[in-house]
């Protein structure tokens, strides 16, 4: 379930003029980016904030938090006389996602332009690009060497960290930049209150920032030409599984999952479910086939779009997939909160026993209880992600869980990935 650089397909939704992807082209250099309208001045930061608010741009890192709200909070601190900081978060600790690394490697000026525009809104003169992919770091460093006056007074540094699931959490990013380990911190304070060097800090996903140049050039109404009312614009989806090479697509929110499956070369009739939003949002059964890919539709199914990663299940048993993901959470948690350290281990143990035909009804009842009572504990959302996986397995596949109480299955024996649906590298 691990893929390599040569396997990655990059494509755009039929009929869509891409805003983020460049198809069949080498990594973008400064002259190409400027000629296409990049690095336009933002002479009125307040008007840009209004445009971002009108666009309804939601964060693309997983939480779908409105970017305008984040910008407004940090901007208010600047207007009160405080220095501020901006961070482009491209660590992408989610193994099933590849979009941020692709943008950083192939369109670094687009990301830097977005970071610069965010800095204009919040009055920041110091910025960071936070990554774990060394190739992305090299591409951004090269872009910084040529960007020059296009970034105005913004001084940007690249910070590289070892890859880890929790390293991309916003307080972990701030902690690394402040000289600490890549582990989340307790809240409050939130990073928009006290971040880098104790200053109000905007931390935003690189795909989120990459939409800002489009909004500046074309305005909020044009941004909303694609998507839905509550999930406007386009987004990047990493699609894995179903025995197909992985792919990165740009598509409008509200697109039909069945159409995406066909574009990916998968027969919708062969799909028995999906792992949604990377590992965090958990599993969905065949209802995913008839759903649309937007935040409101995913919420109505008890799931989430998250970072846009969709791992398609055809022959792989959902019980085995859940066991592998819970085992990953057990290994990758920060080890600093007892509820998470012990809770992920306990849930993984039950899921693995269920996969192997060794679980009983009492074990399943405990898994159900843990998936409820462990939510909201710890310094970050890792335990919530594990609870989502456990609860979704029980809710979405009850008959399958019941059948595993009588023994294992052939599908379980074929899936024991340590990092399920990982996209290892991108071209």
CATH classification of the domain holding 373: 1.20.1440.230
3 band by pLDDT with thresholds 50, 70 and 90: very low
Higher pLDDT: 424 or 327? It is 327
The answer to whether position 272 is within a domain reads no
- Summarize the confidence of residues 176-201 as an average pLDDT: 96
Domain identity same for 322 and 202: no
Provide the 3-class DSSP secondary structure of residue 332. helix
Q: What is the pLDDT of residue 4?
A: 42
pLDDT-based confidence at residue 2 (cuts at 50, 70, 90):
very low
User: Are residue 48 and residue 189 in the same domain, yes or no?
Assistant: yes
- Same domain flag for 72 and 216: yes
**Omega before 188 cis (within 30°)?**
yes
The whole-number pLDDT of residue 253 equals: 98
What is the arithmetic mean of pLDDT over 398-403? 95
Tens of pLDDT, residue by residue over 36-89, are 999 999 999 999 999 999 999 999 999 899 999 999 999 999 999 999 999 999
Task: Return the closest-CA partner of residue 231 out of 71, 50, 55.
Answer: 55
Instruction: Quote the domain boundaries for residue 180.
Output: 17-223
Instruction: Kindly tell me if the per-residue pLDDT of 301 is higher than 60.
Output: yes
Final residue belonging to a domain, choices 184, 204, 223: 223
Query: In the numeric block, which tokens belong to residue 339?
Result: 């509820």
The reply to whether 147 falls in a domain is yes
Decide: 279 and 385 in contact? Cβ < 8 Å. Answer: yes
Whether the predicted pLDDT of 212 surpasses 60: yes
Percent of the chain with pLDDT over 70: 98
Does any domain span residue 138?
A: yes
Q: Does residue 415 belong to any structural domain of this protein?
A: no
Q: What angle do CA 90, 92, 95 make, to 5 degrees?
A: 160
Q: Are residues 324 and 210 in the same domain?
A: no
Among 223, 246, 270, which residue terminates a domain?
223
Query: Helical H runs in 333-417?
Result: 338-355, 361-373, 382-396, 398-404, 410-413
Verify that 204 and 340 share a domain, yes or no: no
Position 380 pLDDT exceeds 90: no
Q: Once rounded to an integer, what is the mean pLDDT over residues 123-147?
A: 97
Provide the whole-model pTM.
Answer: 0.96
| Domain CATH code at residue 191 | 3.40.50.11540
pLDDT bracket for residue 114 (50, 70, 90): very high
Three-class DSSP category at 276: strand
Give yes or no for residue 1 having a pLDDT over 60: no
Number of domains comprising the chain: 2
Instruction: Tell me the two tokens of residue 124.
Output: 């920041």
Are 212 and 352 within one domain?
no
- On the question of pLDDT at 244 being above 80, the answer is yes
pLDDT range class, residue 25, cuts 50, 70, 90: confident
Q: Is residue 281 part of a domain?
A: no
pLDDT for 426: 54
pLDDT of 427 > 80? The answer is: no
Residues 337 and 218 in one domain: no
Examine the pLDDT at 20 and tell me if it is beyond 60: yes
Token couple for 399: 């008959």
Residue 255 lies in a domain: no
CA-to-CA separations, 294 to 16, 53, 228, 390, 409, in angstroms, rounded? 17, 19, 8, 23, 33
Task: State the chain's mean pLDDT as an integer.
Answer: 94
Residue-wise pLDDT tens digits, 322-352: 999 999 999 999 888 999 899 999 999 999 9
What pLDDT does 113 receive? 98
> Where does the pLDDT of residue 291 fall: very low under 50, low under 70, confident under 90, or very high at 90 and above?
very high
pLDDT, residue 179, reads 97
Is 426 contained in some domain?
no
Six token digits for residue 16: 């869509």
The last residue of a domain, from among 182, 205, 223: 223
Q: Say if 327 falls within a structural domain.
A: yes
């Amino acid at each position: 379930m691990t893929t390599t650089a040569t396997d990655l397909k990059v494509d755009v939704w039929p009929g869509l003029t891409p805003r983020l992807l460049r198809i069949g082209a080498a990594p973008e250099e400064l002259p190409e980016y400027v000629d296409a309208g990049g690095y336009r001045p933002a002479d009125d930061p307040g008007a840009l904030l209004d445009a971002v608010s009108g666009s309804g741009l939601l964060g693309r890192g997983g939480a779908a938090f409105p970017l305008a709200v984040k910008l407004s909070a940090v901007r208010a601190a600047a207007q009160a006389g405080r220095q501020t900081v901006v961070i482009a978060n491209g660590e992408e600790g989610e193994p099933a996602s590849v979009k941020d690394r692709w943008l950083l490697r192939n369109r670094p000026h687009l990301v830097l332009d977005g970071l610069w525009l965010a800095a204009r809104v919040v009055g920041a003169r110091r910025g960071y690009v936070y990554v774990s992919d060394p190739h992305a770091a090299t591409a951004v460093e090269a872009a910084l060497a040529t960007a020059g006056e296009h970034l105005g007074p913004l001084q940007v540094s690249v910070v590289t960290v070892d890859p880890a699931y929790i390293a991309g959490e916003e307080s972990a990013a701030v902690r690394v930049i402040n000289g600490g380990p890549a582990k989340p911190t307790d809240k409050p304070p939130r990073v928009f209150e006290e971040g880098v060097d104790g200053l109000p800090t905007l931390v935003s996903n690189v795909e989120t920032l990459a939409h800002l140049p489009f909004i500046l050039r074309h305005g909020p109404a044009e941004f909303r030409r694609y998507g839905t009312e509550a999930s406007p614009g386009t987004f990047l989806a990493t699609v894995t599984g179903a025995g197909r090479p992985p792919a990165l697509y740009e598509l409008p929110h509200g697109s039909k999952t069945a159409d995406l499956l066909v574009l990916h070369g998968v027969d919708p009739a062969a799909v028995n479910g999906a792992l949604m939003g990377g590992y965090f949002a958990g599993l969905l059964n065949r209802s995913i086939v008839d759903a649309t890919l937007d935040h409101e539709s995913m919420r109505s199914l008890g799931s989430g779009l998250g970072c846009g990663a969709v791992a398609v299940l055809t022959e792989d048993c959902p019980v085995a997939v859940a066991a592998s993901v819970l085992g990953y959470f057990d290994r990758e948690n920060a080890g600093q909160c007892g509820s998470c350290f012990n809770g992920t281990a306990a849930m993984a143990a039950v899921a693995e026993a269920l996969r192997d035909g060794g679980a009983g009804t009492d074990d399943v009842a405990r898994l159900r209880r843990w998936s409820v009572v462990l939510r909201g504990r710890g310094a970050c959302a890792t335990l919530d992600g594990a609870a989502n996986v456990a609860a979704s397995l029980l809710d979405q596949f009850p008959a399958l869980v019941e059948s595993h109480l009588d023994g294992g299955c052939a599908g379980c024996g074929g899936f024991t990935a340590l990092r399920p649906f990982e996209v290892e590298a991108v071209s």
